[in-house]
Every structure is written in C-alpha cells, then in structure tokens.
Chains A and B, each alone.
Chain A
Amino acid sequence: MKYVDEYRDGDTAKHYLAAIKAITTRPWTIMEVCGGQTHAIVRFGIADLLPPAINLVHGPGCPVCVTPLEMIDKAIAISSQPNVIFCSFGDMLRVPGSTQDLQSIRAQGGDVRCVYSPLDCLQIARDNPEKQVVFFAIGFETTAPGNAMLVYRAAEEALNNLSVLVSHVLVPPAIATIMSSSTSSSPSSSTSSSQTPSSQNSSSQAKVHGFLAAGHVCAIMGTQEYIPLAQHHQIPIVITGFEPLDILQGLYMCIKQLESGRCEVENQYVRVVTEQGNLSARELMTRVFRVTSRQWRGIGDIPQSGLSLAHQYASFDAEQRFDIADADIIVKEPPECISGLILQGLKKPKQCTAFGKTCTPERPLGATMVSGEGACAAYYKYTG
C-alpha cells in the first residue's frame, strides 16, 4: 500500500534507531499523545528497540479512554429507549459504563449499530423515519469535522429524527494540563527559548520532557496551537505520523531538541500536516460546534477542552432531545484506580495495586484499561 508500506521498512528503521542511539546521552521521558501512536509503538515493538535511557509514556490521546462514565451512562440510557437506533463507532461499544456497556444493550434487544462513518447515520435516519437515530459523536479534532458534517447535512435535509450525543475533546488543553501537573517545580517562568529543560524530577516520577503530538489531529488543526504550549512549558513538541518510521523520526527530532536544549514545535509528518491545517474542516467545525469545558475521565474537568453543538444546531443535541442533559448521573471511579496519574504520565500501570488483578481489559476499572490503546491495556498485552 502506497504511503504505508515504505514507512514500515526494516532497514530504514535500523538506521533511525542507530541515529537515536548516537545522539542520546541522558535519560529522557517522552509522551506520545495519541492512541494511534501508542498502537504503532506496541504493534511494532518500538519501545524495546530504543536505548534504555529513553522512556516512553502513553498519554491521554484516546477519546475512548477519556470519555467520562457519565457520558457512557447517558448513551446507555438513550439506547435503552424504545424506537431508538443508537449508532456508534466500534471503539465505544465495549466501553463499560457504571453497570453495563452498549453491547449489553444490544443483547437486551436495543437497536445498537456499529457504523464505520458518521455519514452512514444519514441513510439510517432516512430509512427509519419513525425512529430516533442517535449518533455517539466522540473523538478528537480528527473526527470532529466528519461529525460536524453529519449534523450540517442533517440540518440541511431537515432530518429531524436524527440527533448526536456529543463528547468531543481537544488535545492542546490536555497537554497543558499534563504539563502543569508534571512540572510544578520546573523553571517555567523563564522566557528564554533555549533553556535546557529541567531534569531535577526525572529520578522520581515520570516527568515528561517532550511530546510527540498527534499528526492526524494536526492535519485538521495545523501546527500553530502548539507553539504557545512549547514556549510556556519549555518543552519540545514534534508532530508525528503513525507508521513506525514516523514515530522513529519523530523521536529522533524530539531527542535532538532535548539534547541541544531547544523547545520548539517541529513537524515530522510533512506529507500530511501543514501549518494551517484543513481550512474547510476547521470552518465546518466552527460552524457546527462551540468550545466548552469537558470532563476527562481520570483527569477531571479541563476548561475549554471540548466541543458541544453550537446554538443554531442545539435541536440536534441528543441530551436535550432525550432530556438527560441535567441527569443526575454522578459516577465515582473505584478508589484503587490511578488512571488519572497514568494518563498524565506520573505513574506506570505496574504501580497500580489493581493492575492485572481486579482490573483487566475484560473488567476494566478505569480509563486507561478500557481501550486497547490505553496505557494499562497496552501494558497488559505487551509486557514492556
């Protein structure tokens, strides 16, 4: 497959690994933000090929992991109602809410359907005028434009039996939160852009020194949002693609910055990501969505970190239509779950008392075990 296979070449990988080894002189902790990057790292076994000084930490870049329990429970409440066709990406069907998951609802007779594309819901709504078709609109900025297009076209067509349950999240605020919690004693007040990142905490918890940002998120949003983050937190951010060579080149670029004391935004994924991103997609997102605060499972409320429907599309909001917006669904995470600390790179899964015992992929307690890309699920399957 063109533009896929060549980025999985073993010989080129060896050269990049040698280059990384050549330039690494100190321990560095690098967080990859996106579940797709985590997937590539574990699938190709990249972590073990790196020099021992390089510590990779899996970040919160999995919308499945970070969808709050309350939102899953709302999805279950809606899908349990008669005359509802509840449509979702496959990722969400296995995520447990406080008592059950969407697959169980299907087993109990609910019409829960897996869709490949949000636009599939348009035809389902046309074909079932007497039913309410609800789409679970989750995802990062990559998925938001497609979900926006669904709402836009539904409005155009006056498909009034269609609505969306929105739980979109944005990446930059999450990076800022992670950086704020892991650099509480870092010299972030300095304005020098060439300051060497502090390593004073690296011997205790996994302080993050650099980020690999999500290439497909940036394909939509461009690269500009990350510049203030890099400057404020004095941290290199390299935007990468998702094939193993992309990850390796991205790691090289990040380590190179760390070793030379630079804190810049660099674009490794130049074949896809441009500085301004996809303007058509961004325009549609701005039209259909507005920025709001969002609950991130395991982290908590992050201001201005999510998307909700813009006012002119409020009639397509499933929470309003099914009157569960203010539903008194308060869910407490199990006390032994430390997924919040893991999502922020402060602890490793093995440090959790529940890991592999009371918490497994089949019976996950928290966000990071819920999805295959979550840090705990990845650790569970692929011993480090």
Chain B
Amino acid sequence: MSKATFDKTDAKVSANTVSPSKLSPNTVSPSKLSPNIKLNYPLPLTDHPNVLMAHGSGGRMTAQLIDSLFRTAFDNPDLDTLHDGARLTLPTQRIVMTTDSFVVHPLFFPGGDIGCLAVNGTVNDLAMCGARPLYLSVGFIIEEGLAMDTLWQIVQSMRNAADKANVRIVTGDTKVVERGHGDGLYINTTGIGVLEHQQVIGPAQVRSGDSVLLFGDIGRHGMAVMAQRENLRFNSTLESDCAPLAEVVLALLNAGIDIHCLRDATRGGLAAVLNEIAVASGLQIDCEEAAITVNHDVRSACEILGFDPLHVANEGCFVAMINPADQQKALSIMQQHNPIATIIGSVQETSVQLTSVQQATSAIVTLRTSIGGQRILDLPTGELLPRIC
C-alpha cells in the first residue's frame, strides 16, 4: 500500500532485532536539550527504542515510524494526502527553490540541533534570494541504532523551527543505513519560496558604491559546536545563532529597500561569503574590522585555538549589499530585528594591486585593521584546525 508521502526503500532488512547500542560518543543526551522542546514520546514503538534497518524497509515498521513520529510532528493538510508527493498551489509563478544537506556533529549543540538547523538553513537560503519561504521537503538518512527518543527530539525541533519560520513540511523520505555508516543522522531539506516583488537579488546586481551591511555577530554557531568537541572542550555559555532570517529580509523588501545582494555567512564564515560575492561581481569589497561584531566568548575561544572569527560558521547572520541611498533606512529596519546590525563596509572598483592569482579571479576583499593597516581577507583554506603556530 502506498503510505504517506515518505518513500519506502528496499534497504536490507536485518534478520535479528538489533539491541540498542551506543552510537557516536558525541551524541548529547536529550536531557541537555533546549527546554523549548516538549518531550512527548510517541506511542506504539516502545518495543523498538532504536531505529532498525526494518524501519527503512518499506513495510509495516516504516509505516509505523512515519505515522508515529513524522506525521505527528509535522501534522498539516498537505502531509495528510498520504501520497508520493505534495500537490501545492503557489500564489505566483516566480518561485525560488533550494536544497541543502545537514551533517552536523554532534547532533545536539548549545542553542540548537540538526533538526532546527535543517529547517532554518533552507529557509535562510530562500530568504537570501529574496523569497518568502513556504514549503519544505525533508529527507532523513538514519543510522541503524539511533535512539528513537533522539529522533523524536529532532523532529519536534524541526516542527518548532518550521512554525517559527512560517513554513510547512509537506513531503519527505526516510532511509536507514547500517550501523557505522551514518554518523547518527543526516538530513536533507529542499525548500520552495515565492518572490513577491520585482527585484533581482544576486551578486551580479552588486554595484560599485554599494553599502555592505552585516546582520548579526559572527562566529557563534561554529564555536558553539566546537566547544562540544572532545579534544577542544572549553567552558562557555556560547549558543549557536541558528535562527530564521526571512522576517527581516521581507521587512526590507516591503519597505522598498533597493537590495542588490544577500548572502548568509554559513560555512567558511563571513570571509567566504564576501570573497564569493567579490568573485561573482568582479568588484572589491572594503570592510572595517572594528565594525564587525564578535561575541566575547567567540573571540576568546578563537584566540586560544588560533581561529579567525571571520572564518567561523554562522547560522543566523547575513550580509546585504544595498544601494547606498537606502543604507540608513535599511540599517534601521535591520536594527529593529537585531540591535547589533551594522554597516561594515562598501563595494569599490578594484584598486588594490593584485597578485597574479587574484587578477585571475578579480576577487579582493580588504579589511582595515584596528591599527589602521590593511589586510586582504582571503578564503579560509579548509577545515578549521587549532594551531600552535
């Protein structure tokens, strides 16, 4: 029987019931979760405290998992059609679609979890295109042995995040992979949003003279996750800045702000997004280091580990390239949503003498330092690794 909008799979069914076992030692127990998540353990799966290969087999157990967890948490009319896809009517033909996958480890971290990250990450990508986010699909790849309770916490968290972001989760898929092949849980979300204005927003629209505004402080997500790592543990009250950004973007659009480009500073941090925009637009971006707000805990942790906060991931922070005539109005609107929004720089024609490599990419981002010097802000080279050097 075709059941729900969650696809079944022909995954291998284990002949023996797998006894509950510990997964990754880094999985934080639900008791350390944000108090916002209601613990409401679903019914008929008490015989199976852990996800089994059979839950991905497409049969009765898959149906039970979908009914008990996913449909309960994501409950909405589109999901209840119980078909292989959701039939949606959109208010306009100008739509935005985006997809993202989430593999964060540990699954729970101060200020969030993989679930709310999966919702907000895709919501924010839609917002960065200037769209009002409407619908999400979600694909779960669950490692055999994941505690059902853990999955339930995450799914609840997704529902909370979806409600806060005014989106609905309307379709999805579930797969289970053998123990040792999944890091607990991976999630993919794909989102659809609509453009309710005529503006075109993207790096190609950036112009010389544009003001660069920063919404939020930098580094909190990456360092909050880093603080949980066994080998780097430090004590702080730092929490991820994981949050939806659509509301402030829609406020800017509704106020008629001439927005040229928006980009949220996720992996690679602020340095990565500024460089990407510089490359894509062929222009130089000059910023003032003192204008970039860095949380005190982030700064302290970055100093001792040898990280640059500009390279650290964020999940609730974006840059906006704005027509300079609108900069004060835009700043005022942003500050209503987050008082620490600031103007951090401007876009120029390229003026710095480029190395041969920089000439090839025409990408240059400069930073005026606290002592008045000029630093060229490069892309981070790779994984953030603590250094002694």
Question: Which residues of A are interface residues toward B (Cβ below 8 A)?
Answer: 1, 4, 8-10, 13-14, 35-36, 42-49, 62-64, 89-91, 93-94, 103, 113-116, 120, 139, 143, 244, 356-357, 360-362, 371-373, 379-383
Contacts and interface: CB of A to CB of B under 8 A. Distances in A.
A62 B388 CA distance: 10
B389 A116 contact: no
B389 A371 contact: yes
B389 A383 contact: no
A10 B241 CA distance: 30
A114 B226 CA distance: 13
Nearest to B371: A13
Contact of B388 (A91, A381, A383): A91
Contacts of A10: 370-372
Given A114-B231, A116-B232, A44 B386 contact: no
Interface stretch (B27-35, B164-172, B326-334, B375-383): B375-383
Contacts of A361: 381
Contact of A356 (B305, B357, B368): B357
20 contacts: A8-B371, A13-B371, A43-B369, A43-B375, A44-B370, A45-B368, A45-B369, A45-B371, A45-B372, A45-B374, A89-B386, A93-B385, A114-B385, A143-B388, A244-B371, A244-B373, A361-B381, A362-B381, A381-B376, A383-B355
B338 interface: no
B352 to A, nearest CB: 7
B376 A46 contact: no
Contact of A8 (B353, B355, B357, B370): B370
A91 B356 contact: no
A36 B389 contact: yes
Contact of B354 (A244, A362, A383): A383
Contacts of B205: none
Given A1-B303, A114-B231, A120-B231, A44 B385 contact: no
A373 B356 contact: no
Which residue, of A1, A93, A116, has the highest number of chain B Cβ atoms within 10 A?
A116
Contact of B300 (A1, A143, A379, A382): A1
B375 A49 contact: no
Interface of B: 231-232, 299-300, 303, 305-306, 352-358, 368-376, 378, 381-383, 385-389
A382 B355 CA distance: 9
Contacts of B371: 8-10, 13-14, 44-46, 49, 244
B372 A113 contact: no
Contacts of A36: 389
B385 A90 contact: yes
A4 B300 CA distance: 10
A208 B358 CA distance: 30
B311 to A, nearest CB: 11
Contacts of A89: 386-389
B295 to A, nearest CB: 13
B305 to A, nearest CB: 7
A11 to B, nearest CB: 9
B357 A360 contact: yes
A383 B358 contact: yes
A299 to B, nearest CB: 18
Nearest to A16: B371
A313 to B, nearest CB: 22
A381 B369 CA distance: 16
Contacts of B381: 94, 361-362, 372
The 9 closest A-B pairs by CB, nearest first: A45-B373, A90-B385, A13-B371, A381-B378, A45-B374, A44-B369, A90-B386, A45-B375, A91-B387
Which residue, of B305, B352, B371, has the highest number of chain A Cβ atoms within 10 A?
B371
Contact of B382 (A43, A94, A360, A381): A94
A318 B386 CA distance: 24
A123 to B, nearest CB: 10
A296 to B, nearest CB: 15
B369 A91 contact: no
A93 B231 CA distance: 15
Contacts of A63: 389
A111 to B, nearest CB: 13
Given A35-B389, A44-B371, A383-B376, 15 more contacts: A1-B300, A9-B370, A42-B375, A45-B373, A45-B375, A49-B371, A49-B372, A91-B389, A94-B381, A94-B385, A116-B231, A116-B232, A244-B369, A360-B357, A362-B381
B106 to A, nearest CB: 17
Contacts of B385: 90-91, 93-94, 114
Contacts of A49: 371-373
A357 B299 contact: no
A185 B97 CA distance: 69
B358 to A, nearest CB: 7
A15 B306 CA distance: 28
Contacts of B374: 45, 48
Nearest to A49: B373
Contacts of A46: 371, 373
A207 B369 CA distance: 30
Nearest to B352: A383
B373 A383 contact: no
B386 A356 contact: no
A142 to B, nearest CB: 8
A4 B303 contact: yes
B375 A383 contact: no
Contacts of B303: 1, 4
A36 to B, nearest CB: 7
A379 B355 CA distance: 9
Nearest to B367: A45
A35 B388 CA distance: 10
Which residue, of B376, B381, B387, B388, has the highest number of chain A Cβ atoms within 10 A?
B388
Contacts of A116: 231-232, 305, 386
A62 B368 CA distance: 26
Contacts of B386: 89-90, 114, 116
Contacts of A383: 352-355, 358, 376
B372 A13 contact: yes
